[in-house]
Chain A
Amino acid sequence: MSKVLQHGDRSWQALLITVSILVLVLMLAIGWMLWRGSSGAHQTFGWGFLAPTSLVSWDPVNDHFQAWPFIYGTLLTSLIAILIALPISLGIAIFLVELCPAWLRTPLTWMVELLAAIPSVVYGLWGIFIFLPVVVTPLGNFLAETLAHLPWIGILFSGPMSASGSSRLAACLILAIMIIPTISAVSRDVFMAIPNAQHEASLALGSTLWETIWQVLIPYGLSGILGAVMLGLGRALGETMAVTMVIGNSIEGSASLLRPGYTMASVIANEFAEAVSKLHTEVLVEVGLVLFFMTMLLNILARFLVWRVARRTPLEVRT
Chain B
Amino acid sequence: MTHQGELLGQRRLARERTRRVSNMVMLIMTGLLTLIALIPLAWIIAYVILRGGRSLNLAFFTQLPRPLGMAGGGVLHAIEGTIIVSLLAAVFAIPPGVLAAFYAARNPNTTLGIALRFGTDVLSGVPSIVVGLFAYAVLVKPMGHYSALAGGAALAVLMLPTIIRTTEEMLKLVPHTLREGSLALGASEWKTSLSVLFPAALNGIFTGFLLALSRAAGETAPLLFTTLGNERYDIKFIVTSGIKSHQGIFQVLERILDQPVDSLPLTLWKYAQQPYPERIEQAWGVALVLMLVVLSINIASRLWIQVRARRLKGS
Contacts and interface: CB of A to CB of B under 8 A. Distances in A.
Interface of A: 5-9, 11-13, 15-17, 19-24, 26-27, 29-30, 33-34, 36-37, 87-89, 91-92, 94-96, 98-99, 106, 108, 110-112, 114-115, 117-126, 128-130, 177, 180, 184, 208-211, 214, 231, 234-235, 237-241, 245, 265, 268-269, 272-273, 285, 288, 291-292, 295-296, 298-300, 303
Given A272-B225, A295-B127, A285 B112 contact: no
12 contacts: A17-B103, A17-B112, A20-B116, A23-B123, A27-B126, A33-B138, A91-B34, A111-B38, A118-B291, A125-B283, A126-B47, A296-B126
Given A95-B33, A208-B19, A24 B126 contact: no
Contact of A30 (B106, B115, B130): B130
A291 B133 CA distance: 12
Contacts of B280: 129
Contacts of B96: 19, 22-23
A6 B225 CA distance: 47
**Which 10 interchain pairs have the tightest Cβ spacing?**
A238-B127, A119-B218, A91-B33, A12-B190, A6-B188, A299-B125, A208-B23, A16-B103, A95-B30, A91-B30
A224 to B, nearest CB: 16
Contacts of A239: 127
Contacts of B113: 20
B163 to A, nearest CB: 10
B235 interface: no
A165 to B, nearest CB: 15
B189 A6 contact: yes
A67 B35 CA distance: 39
Contacts of B291: 118-119, 122
A112 B119 CA distance: 28
Interface stretch (B61-69, B172-180, B244-252, B292-300): B292-300
A88 to B, nearest CB: 5
B134 A34 contact: yes
Interface string B7-37: 0000000000001101100110111111011
Given A92-B30, A95-B33, A234 B125 contact: yes
Contacts of A130: 43, 47
Contacts of A9: 188-190
A220 B250 CA distance: 61
Contacts, number: 254
A265 B127 contact: yes
A177 B40 contact: yes
Contacts of B265: 119, 121, 241
Interface residues of B, number: 87
Contacts of A269: 129, 221, 224
Contact of A299 (B121, B133, B283, B299): B121
A91 B29 contact: yes
B267 to A, nearest CB: 9
A78 to B, nearest CB: 12
Interface string B216-250: 01111100110010000000000000000000000
Contacts of A17: 103, 112
Contact of B100 (A23, A91, A128, A237): A23
Given A91-B34, A95-B30, A118-B294, A272 B47 contact: no
Nearest to A265: B129
B160 A23 contact: yes
Contacts of A15: 99
B115 A24 contact: yes
A87 B99 CA distance: 41
B85 interface: no
B30 A20 contact: no
Contacts of A16: 99-100, 102-103, 106
A240 to B, nearest CB: 4
Given A111-B38, A122-B290, A298-B125, A88 B130 contact: no
Contacts of B106: 16
Nearest to B222: A240
Contacts of B23: 208-211
Interface in B137-163: 137-138, 157, 160
Nearest to A213: B26
Contacts of A122: 44, 48, 218, 268, 287, 290-291
Nearest to A108: B34
Given A118-B291, A295-B127, A299-B124, 8 more contacts: A19-B96, A29-B138, A95-B34, A114-B299, A119-B219, A210-B22, A210-B27, A269-B129
